[in-house]
Amino acid sequence: MLIKPDREDLRIVAFALGRIFTVIAAASLLPLGWAVLGREWHPFASFLLMIGTFAFLGQLGLRYRPSDERLDWSHGMVVVALTWLAVPTIGSIPFIFSGHYGGPVDAIFDAMSGLTTTGLALVQDLDHMAPSLNFWRHLLHFLGGQGIVIAALVLFAGGGGLTLYYGEARDERILPSVRSTARFIWAVALVHLVAGVLVLGVIAHQVLGFEWKRAFFHALMVFFAAFDTGGFAPQSTSLGYYHSGIFEFAATVLMIAGAMSFGLHYALWRGPRRALFKNLETRTILTTFTFTMVLTMVGLGVAGIYTSVQGLTRQGFFQIVSAHSGTGFATIPSSELATWGGLAFAGMTVAMALGGMASSTAGGIKALRIGLTVKAVANQTKQLLLPEGAVVSTQYFQSGRKRLTPELAQSAMTVALLYVALFLLGTGVALGYGYGVQEALFESVSAGASVGLSVGVTEPSMPMLLKLTYMFQMWAGRLEFVAVFALLGFIYAWVRGK
Amino acid sequence: MRRRVGRRWGMPADLAGAALAFLLELMIVAGLAAAALLVAAVVTAAI
User: Is pLDDT above 70 for A262?
Assistant: yes
User: Is pLDDT above 60 for A155?
Assistant: no
Q: Torsion angle, CA of A159/A165/A168/A169, rounded to 10 degrees?
A: -140
The model's confidence at residue A264, banded by pLDDT at 50, 70 and 90, is: confident
The pLDDT value recorded for residue B29 is: 93
Pair type for strands A395-397 and A401-403: antiparallel
| % of chain A residues with pLDDT over 70 | 94
Average pLDDT over residues A262-284: 83
Average pLDDT over residues A411-416: 92
User: Is pLDDT above 80 for A163?
Assistant: no
Chain B residues in contact with A287 (beta carbon < 8 A): none
Interface test with B, best of A180, A200, A253, A268 (most B CBs within 10 A): A268
Chain B residues in contact with A317 (beta carbon < 8 A): 32-33, 36, 40
Average pLDDT over residues A111-136: 96
Q: Is A300 in contact with A340 (CB distance < 8 Å)?
A: yes
Chain A residues in contact with B32 (beta carbon < 8 A): 256, 289, 317, 321
The pLDDT value recorded for residue A96 is: 97
User: Is pLDDT above 80 for A272?
Assistant: no
Q: Which residues of chain B have pLDDT under 50?
A: none
Across A18-27, A273-282, A398-407, least confident range: A273-282
- Could you tell me which residue, A467 or A72, shows the higher pLDDT? A467
The pLDDT value recorded for residue A26 is: 94
The pLDDT value recorded for residue A398 is: 84
